[in-house]
Amino acid sequence: MPENAQPHAVIPAADLQLSAQSPQWRVFAAAAAGASLVARPLRVIEAAGIYVDLSMQRHSSALAQAGLALLQARDVLGARAALFAPGAPDAAHGRYPVLRAGYGAHPEEQCDIEVEIEYARMLEFVRELDRGGACPAVLYLGGGAGQWALRLALQAFGGPAQRRQLRFVSGGDAAALHEALAGLGPRRTLVVAASRGFEPSETLDNARAAIDWLRRAGIDDVSAHLVTVTGNESAARALGVAAARVFRLPSWLQPRHELWSVGALPVALALSVDMLKALRSGAAAMDQHFLQAAPAVNAPMQMALAAVANTSAMHWPTHALAVYSARLAALPACVQQLEMTLAGRAPASLPAYSVVWSPAGAPGPGAFFEWLHRAPAGAPVDFIAGLDEYPASPPAHRALLANCLAQREALLRGLPAGPGQPAAGGGRPSTLVVLRQVDPRAVGALLALYEHKAFVQAALWGAALGGADQAQACQRLAQDIARQLAVPPAAGPVDWGHDSSTAFWIDRYREQGGAGAAAGRTA
């Protein structure tokens, strides 16, 4: 790409509405419908310590050729090049790979250097705390899309190995904050408030409540116990946070990619700087695979093509994840944030996922697989497993892996009829993603794999990668309602301009459960 080239823009959604009738799309959809599900030939791609087995997805030479033609028609390779090219990031792309490329990857670009300097400053802050043995407990106040990758890393590698006790509080539930504070020593606790702009105000309200908690313990200078991760430095400073303890998020960064930025502060505090570096290293290795591998052997591209074939051509409305590792139980929430946000922005003329889902626990209750095998709707499945996860207990891990392989084969081949149960016809597509070892580097690569898969799906669907989420409009509405909830009953009845149900509950809250007009009001 020329040095002065601008980042490639994903094709607008309006154009994709036309492309649903394009020759490339019609050929791809027809090839998907005609392709077989027979697990031949073996199709396994190895990348960054991860194996991606697509053998049980639809395949034919015609579908493979049609997929490459669709990638070309949608200029996915151009979008990929722009994602990695030097240039100022924008909200549409976010250029998330730059966050793990390392200092000096594009030294001529000031933005890269600024991001890396801020990241290095965050790491040095953690090292300084480690040297002094300060704050063995961390109260993390923050929510949104970015929290799930943090939770995944902490769930996978925390426990006995955790250096600091870490408690999460997300959202505005006062009970959650009260429970998180229980048993913590204020003088031994570091409060981390993480919010891009402190809008909406839940994190800000929680931070103020935590500051009051510190002051009630007799701590006059609470600044020694406060840190913020934000793009709104003035709001952080207004809380009383010292400038050196404000870690700035890039304005162009999408929340779902915050693990690769200073947003990873709680992971570094609770686990270690080295653990965080290993996560980044694995993600960077997957970046290089995505950037350099040809489309036919490119794991994120092939996973995305399979997903688009299943959803937009074969009309599977949902996609399931079956995780065969307790340490990776938070992965489905990460994938939901990556894929459902983008699928929700796809044009209605071309079906995209309505739901990415997974059962609670690993690998999930029997009812989960009963539905997958026998329900007429069904769903394609991503199976996630570790090849050598528990070397200290080989029999247990062998049994777990055997169950994973058996469920996957049964989804493809079907199940015989049983007492009171009809036969399951099979023909359910799946992808198997296997980590050679469930270590920080592999988990970083796994997250990057799904980031790039979502990127390719968005390019194929014509979904915007950035911009304001619909959730932000709901947040503004919630702020209006919060102000109305605060209107004292003495103000009398008010026409809020809402529907009857919403107005009823606003008035009911204002009266605090009294037996006044709200009790007799009809909906």
Q: How far apart are the first and last CA of the chain?
A: 62
Which ranges constitute the DSSP H helices of 394-466?
394-413, 440-461
> What was the pLDDT predicted at 365?
67
pLDDT of residue 18: 35
DSSP 132-184: HT--SEEEEE--STTHHHHHHHHHHH-GGG-SSEEEEE-SS-HHHHHHHHTT-
241, 223 contact by CB (below 8 A): yes
Q: Which helix (H) or strand (E) holds 335?
A: helix 331-343
pLDDT > 70 in the chain, percent: 86
SS3 58: coil
Q: Extract the tokens encoding 291.
A: 């950037």
Helix (H) / strand (E) element for 382: namely: strand 381-386
In the three-class reduction of DSSP (H, G, I as helix; E, B as strand; rest coil), residue 85 is classed as coil
Closest C-alpha among 182, 265, 190, 180 to residue 230: 265
Planar angle of CA 237, 239, 245, nearest 5 degrees: 50
Phi, psi of 223 (to 5 degrees): -60, -30
User: Across all residues in the chain, what is the average pLDDT?
Assistant: 86
Query: What does the pLDDT look like over 428-471, one tens digit per residue?
Result: 999 999 999 999 999 999 999 999 999 999 899 887 665 555 66
Q: What is the pLDDT of residue 518?
A: 36
pLDDT tens for 336-392 read: 999 887 766 666 567 776 689 998 766 666 788 989 998 888 999 999 999 987 767
Interval 201-216 mean pLDDT: 94
The secondary structure of the chain in percent helix, strand, coil, rounded to multiples of 5, reads: 55, 10, 35
Q: For residue 19, what pLDDT band results from cuts at 50, 70 and 90?
A: low
Contact 122, 268 (CB under 8 A): yes
Calpha distance 77→1 (Å, rounded): 12
Question: Alpha-carbon distance 281 to 98, whole Å?
Answer: 12
Domain extents in the chain: 13-88+280-416+424-461, 122-278, 472-520
- HSE of 3, CA atoms in CB hemisphere, 13 A: 3
Tokens encoding 265: 């502060």
Residue 140 phi, psi dihedral angles, 5° rounding: -100, 120
Determine contact, residues 271/150, Cβ cutoff 8 Å.
no
Give me the numbers of helices (H) and strands (E) for the chain, helices first please.
19, 11
The answer to whether residues 186 and 213 touch, using CB atoms and an 8 Å cutoff, is: yes
Top-confidence residue, 472 or 66 = 66
Pairing between β-strand 50-53 and β-strand 430-435 as defined by DSSP bridges: antiparallel
Q: In terms of Cα–Cα distance, which of 82, 83, 90, 81 is closest to 111?
A: 90
Superfamily for 122-278?
Glucose-6-phosphate isomerase like protein; domain 1 (3.40.50.10490)
In the chain, % of residues over pLDDT 90: 60
Residue 104 has pLDDT above 60, yes or no: no
47-91 pLDDT, tens digit each? 999 999 999 999 999 999 999 999 999 999 999 999 988 776 655
Strand bridging mode 137-141 / 165-169: parallel
Peptide bond connecting 363 to the previous residue in cis, omega within 30 degrees of 0: yes
**Rounded to an integer, what distance in angstroms lies between the CA atom of residue 85 and that of residue 462?**
20
Is the bond preceding residue 200 a cis peptide, omega within 30 degrees? yes
**Euclidean distance between CA atoms 228 and 241, whole angstroms:** 7
Same fold, 13-88+280-416+424-461 and 122-278: yes
Confirm or reject CATH 3.20.20.70 for domain 13-88+280-416+424-461, answering yes or no: no
205 Cβ partners below 8 Å, 6+ apart? 172
CA distance 379 to 418: 22
Contacts of 244-251 with CB under 8 Å at 24 or more apart are 244/125, 245/125, 247/118, 247/121, 247/122, 247/125, 248/118, 249/196, 250/89, 250/111, 250/114, 250/115, 251/91
Q: What's the pLDDT band for 103 if we cut at 50, 70, 90?
A: very low
Burial of 51 (0-12, 13-18, 19+ CB in 10 A): middle
Q: How far apart are CA 521 and CA 337, in angstroms?
A: 40
Q: Which residues contact 519 (CB under 8 A, 6 or more apart)?
A: none
d(Cα 271, Cα 274) in Å, to the nearest integer?
8
Q: Contact, 312 vs 347, CB < 8 A?
A: no
pLDDT of residue 105: 56
pLDDT of residue 12: 39
